[in-house]
Amino acid sequence: MLRPLFLWLAVAALHLSLQGQQDTTGTAPGPYGLFDGNGKATTFKKLVRQSRRSEVVFFGELHDNATIHRLQQQLAETLYDKTRGNLMMGAEMFQRDDQLLIDEYLRGVIREKDFEKEAVLWPNYKTDYRPLLRFAKEKQMPFVATNVPRRYAAAVARKGEAAFSTFLPEAKAFMAPYPFEFDMELPGYKRILSMGANHGMANVAFAQAFKDASMAHFILKDWDTTRVFLHFNGTYHSNHHEGIVWYLKKWRPRTKIVTIAAVEQKQLDYLDDENLHLADFIIVVPQKEDEEEEKPAPSEKPQK
């Protein structure tokens, strides 16, 4: 009589293993694979352990993937516990000129609905980033808006370096100090250049570097170094330890950094060669049918 029960338990255990690991909010991520940079299968527990021993963790995401966002929430909550509260967060998804609004919301000065009315928010804010901000508020944890306002990045994409001479002094508080080094030979920027043969792509690559430099600048500016800094960004901004990571290590070379990349594959059992060495940890989620690869410059349009 016990055999059916054992069979049911075995099936249930297999189902849970395929669904990833349970997060602390009770919402399980979808199926995923987790590997180190060399393609060796690893565990969420090891990712947490290495992240806890680091100073800055870059979680590179696929912006529209629910599994990745659930794992972000799980990592934030687990790291908070493992560091005994010595955690802070920041994100590309919030513009620097909204930092005051974030601080006022986290401290209870303004209501959530007022924050959401006035801040520039991505379309998927309510499902994917609001939970992170609410968690920061619950734990009274700093949350840093690291991204340069979109209007300035757009101006640089159009005009290149000439745009900086047009920015008002007040605007420069919301961006990395100029001039900053731009290495066009970095593979990530070269890939952007390869998307078009005209001069305009050079400005687009420079605008990408402008965003990367600004995010690194505000991480270093606002970082309480007694805390682990968990930063969320599109995976292209930190793949291969380039982008934000390259600037941060240039300005603070000895920083202990862990990078996490997110990729889509047709199968989850092993890491495709093209995804090897993207990051210290690589999360693989099922590839959607007829979906194009993530572009280096995200196309998401913020909404009020």
Give the H/E segment covering residue 203: helix 200-222
pLDDT of residue 199: 64
In this predicted model, what pLDDT tens digit does every residue of 96-109 receive, in sequence order?
999 999 999 999 99
Residue tagged 């913020």 (tokens): 302
In this predicted model, what pLDDT tens digit does every residue of 175-193 receive, in sequence order?
999 999 999 999 999 999 9
β-strands 33-36, 228-234: how paired? unpaired
pLDDT at 196 over 80: no
Crossing angle for the helix pair 150-159 and 200-222, to the nearest 10 degrees: 150
- Which distant-in-sequence residues (6+ apart) come within 8 Å of 284 by Cβ? 32, 33, 34, 35, 263, 264, 265, 268, 271, 275
Entry pTM? 0.87
Pair 229, 90: CB distance under 8 Å? yes
pLDDT of residue 9: 32
Domains detected in the chain: 34-146+211-286 (3.40.50.11550)
